[in-house]
Structure 1
């Protein structure tokens, strides 16, 4: 990595690849988060027959860190799915398995015994099934765990200065070069400025209830953004934009949209444009986020655009106590279940619940297909993680 972490555009690819390997080597859970493609490869190799759920929009990459507080345009906040890069119309069972594996890996990182992992899988499916409701009721909420309530309280107190301090290291109207933000080319800058001044961007950033619909928008600064793990290596930009009238600054995230790795329904009617696919999936699964998105093109590639809000946070489970782990599993299962249930009719929910209730062994109150998938995929991820660390040990030392 160059001095002070600043990388010129011509050197991006090499440095981003090395950084991605480093991030994935930091922990087994980080390896799970950054390995969506291999997850589905391993799931297919396991050969288990998953229940065939109704064709609905699914997250496709439903791990713990992709769920958290998300702000809407009117000042409200809710826990929703917060990353929809992999969203497709497909089998909801894939989201259940992906979340279960993520929770199981987080449990191992917290040195929790295997029996707790088994109970977490039980609680996850319980929370999910409650979201499907019963009778006429569309869903049943489960209590929010204390550790997630803490995240929600923090989200409600956050303002622009907090976002600026975390993302751009200060509230001055510039994005400083460093390890997280790299220079853009003159060509990129010109395209980003055109996008910033477009009618679409003006409409996007004036959606907030306190901003005037006809407020003028201007680009203050633009940088290449080194962010995430699985997204390293694709186009990613941060725009600092000023909205006139209130002289308010906002931070806009631009991210290249790639073809999803998640299996999709062969008969589903989805947008062919990947950025439009992400937006459509977000509107169904996380409306707070979907309403704040638009699709565009930069450098000949399709991208989706969203304004970041200070209240948007991810849930990190670095260390969990046994009771917290089970409560979190139940609650997150409920969050995902509600996102799925909102797309289903009463009869479809009833049918899907019946399918989920099948094939439950006597020693664990979770479907056998789910438990077997978790066991085999955790084994595959553990082996893959150690092999990843061995392969890149020299480069990462």
Structure 2
């Protein structure tokens, strides 16, 4: 049965070649670059479904306004060359900024005004940093288009609020992993997703688009969407059992009831509901990748071996995920050394005191 993609249709271009496009009322038209039915096609399709609708009246923008510069940025290579997932994030930030300041002239955003924006977003430091980064891009476009003077770069005289250090998503403990498996047996969709996340050690964004062709000869082979890192991970026995039990989708391994790939939000909600049902409301699918990395460290894998599984590019990133499995052992050894040194010092002091008494 041919897989259906709502809002996507095929047509013959002027060269007689069959192509596909996404057309949905109120949304931008997208022409697919990847062949129909491939993993890359699925990614483009999911990005189209998650895109924000086109704001009414965007074509009637004032020259030199924030909306004008944002429109120029969308058509620039700096935006067009981004990954589809990054485009979705950036569009969300810029469209919210456009909704608030779209008709304002871009030149009115001097360093003082941008600094005040950053101060107003102190409670959302990550969002503030992303907005500041995109404002820098907008001013590059504005300078190039001669909307603002060549030397006008107010962003460099500002800074985003400091991001507090965080441990990030909660890594699942062994007891929490066991509790989830007991609640969701083999043959259920949450258990299949759980096994792919834990034993595949990949991000949710990659697991959502794993196809049957991604798993061949007992290995998971993919190129990570976030970092473009190629990974080649063996299918271990618990994952093999989960794949055999299913339920598997027609194209992607995990599909919705409508036989479509899960959106980012839909997949998160699937797993979050499953976590709550298992009595683990503090757990999330993101933490399973940390648990996989932790298991690598506890097993004595080298950084290079662990990174070959998770796909992290740097040792620092990998260790942040994997943690330190031998911290307790190091602490025990260190404290024993401290106490031994204290005992040695005490024995020396007592010996010196005895020597003085004999004199």
Q: Please tell me whether Structure 1 or Structure 2 has the larger radius of gyration of its CA atoms.
A: 2
Higher helix share: 2
Higher strand share: 1
Normalising by structure 2, what TM-score?
Answer: 0.26
Structure ranking higher on relative contact order (CA contacts 8 Å, 6+ apart): 1
Normalising by structure 1, what TM-score?
Answer: 0.24
